[in-house]
Amino acid sequence: MTAASLTPAPKRRLRDRLPVVHHLRQSVGLQRGMLVAGLVLLALFIVCAVFAPLLAPYGFAQRGDAEGTFGTQQPPSAEHWFGTTVGGYDVLSRVIFGAQTAILVVIVAVVLSLFIGVALGLYAGYFGGWLDKLMVVVFDAIYAFPSLLLAIVLSIVISGGQSSLWGGVLAAGGSIVVVFIPQYFRVIRAETVRIKAEPFVESAKVLGASNSRIVFKHVFRNATRTLPLIITLNSAEAILTLAALGFVGFGIEPTAAADWGYDLNKAQSDVTSGIWWTATFPGLAIVLAVLGIMLVGESLNDLADPRLRSRRRVAQAAGEVAETSVVPGGTLAAGPGGLGGLEDGESFDEHGIEVKR
């Protein structure tokens, strides 16, 4: 960054700077295939969520139409492509509407944890002090804890076991937020500690810039490198947590919203008696939604990792990234801002996916 801030580099075109578009152009072969497949699944997921009322043949809480009730546990047919559930709902409609609930949870969870985690990380990394140490210890403790159990506790707190649409969304979203804040916190804090020691921050201080200006203008904008990857991971995790909560009995009531996890919970006994459609389709919906997000995230991760980069075209395009992220020799020895900030702790998150700080 130092070189760039002294001699302003020619500005890249917009299409090269947009994260996903840029990566798509940068990718080749297999990686492009994975990225495209992921984007297609993601698009499908979003389209289902946005246009659910138009796409779904029936409502998510509809048990019958003008010709009478649908009947329970009906196998797939022309009227009900995916069959009906034990409660007499149309499986296809609930699968499509389920995307809506899932996306709400993703938005709530990611937006909240992003804001809180980034803000706390910036604060702790930049100002340090006892509050920083306290937060590190507390968040490390939360990080090591089974997130599903924490989510269960929070669901009890937030919804008290009752599940309206927003109760359920907030319970799942809120519990995911608490689990995710430590991840954003760790990443942003480590980056902040590193960037704080950079000469350009010092020059800003000398010029008399206020702390808030330095934090937001100089530190924050340089610390966001790894955020896209974590956002994709957390979105996937959010969907899985919502499903898991629904599965253990904290689902959203079928009349309030369609919840894939709830449907799977109710489908458990169906499976034992050989009724496959009630479990398979909501489950596949979860898998495809998560798969789409993960494929996008994985591709972005690969394209950003110099060790996994092997093709010349990728290396060329990524040269710009390397320029901004390299640590100048001077800061390596500079106390907490040097290697310590980069290399302490594991560089893998709980799913074994590499997280760069």
Partner 1 sequence: MSTLDTTAPTEDLPAAGRPKPKSQGGGFARYLLVRFLLIFPTIFILVTLVFFLMRTTGDPITAAQGGRLGPEALAELRAAAGFDRPIFIQYVEYLGQIATFNFGETLTTNRPVLEVLATYGPATFELVFYSLIVAFLVGIPLGLLTAYYRDKPQDAVFRVLAIYWYAVPVFFAALILKLIFAVWLKWFPVAGRASVSAELQMQVLPNKTGFYTIDALMTGNPEVLTDVLSHAVLPAIALGLLTAGIFLRLVRTNVIGTLATDYVDAARSRGVGELRLLRKHAYRPALIPIVTVIGLQIALLLAGAVLTETTFEWKGLGFILVEFIESRDYMAVQGIVVMLAIIVAITNFVVDIIAAFIDPRVRY
Nearer to partner 1 by C-beta: 10 or 352?
352
Q: Where are the alpha helices (DSSP H) in the chain?
A: 2-6, 14-17, 19-26, 29-50, 52-55, 91-127, 129-143, 147-159, 165-196, 199-206, 211-213, 221-223, 227-245, 260-272, 277-304, 312-325, 339-343
Tokens 């979860």 belong to residue: 286
**What is the sign of the dihedral through the CA atoms of 239, 241, 242 and 247?**
positive
Task: Please enumerate in sequence order all residues whose Cβ is within 8 A of that of 41, keeping only pairs 6 or more positions apart, or say none.
Answer: 288, 289, 291, 292, 293, 295
Instruction: Tell me how far, at minimum, the Cβ of 51 lies from partner 1, in Å.
Output: 23
Q: Residues with Cβ < 8 Å from 279, sequence gap 6 or more?
A: 264, 267, 268, 270, 271
CA-CA-CA-CA torsion sign (32, 36, 37, 42): positive
Q: How far is the CB of 163 from partner 1 (least distance, A)?
A: 13
Cβ closer to partner 1: 255 or 310? 310
Q: Classify residue 5 as exposed, middle or buried by CB count within 10 Å of its CB (0-12, 13-18, 19+).
A: middle
**Residue 222 vs 226, nearer CB to partner 1:** 226
Which residue number, 24 or 142, has a Cβ lying nearer to partner 1? Answer: 142
Q: Which is nearer to partner 1, 209 or 284 (CB)?
A: 284
Decide: helix, strand or coil at residue 165: helix
Rounded Cα–Cα distance for residues 340 and 342 (Å): 5
Query: What are 337's two structure tokens?
Result: 């801002």
Distance in Å, CB of 19 to partner 1, minimum: 19
Nearer to partner 1, 67 or 346 (CB): 346
The nearest distance, CB 291 to partner 1, in angstroms, is: 4
- Bridge partner residues of 354 (DSSP): 348
CA 171, 174, 178, 181 torsion: positive or negative? Answer: positive
- Could you tell me the smallest distance in angstroms from the CB atom of residue 317 to partner 1? 17
Minimum distance of partner 1 from residue 220's CB (angstroms) = 28
DSSP one-letter code for 69? E
Nearer to partner 1, 201 or 264 (CB): 264
Per-residue tokens: 37:
């497949």
Query: What residues make contact with partner 1 under the rule CB under 8 A?
Result: 30, 33-34, 137-138, 140-142, 144-149, 152-154, 156-158, 160-161, 236, 240, 243-244, 247-250, 264, 267-268, 271-274, 276, 279-280, 283, 286-288, 290-291, 294-295, 298, 307-308, 310, 346, 348, 350-354
Give phi and psi for 64, each to the nearest 5. Answer: -170, 165
- Whose tokens are 């990728």? That residue is 314
To partner 1, the closest distance from the beta carbon of 123 in angstroms equals 19
To partner 1, the closest distance from the beta carbon of 14 in angstroms equals 30
Nearer to partner 1, 93 or 232 (CB): 232
Nearer to partner 1, 110 or 242 (CB): 242
Q: Which residues sit opposite 68 in a β-bridge?
A: 65
CB of 161 to partner 1, least distance (A): 6
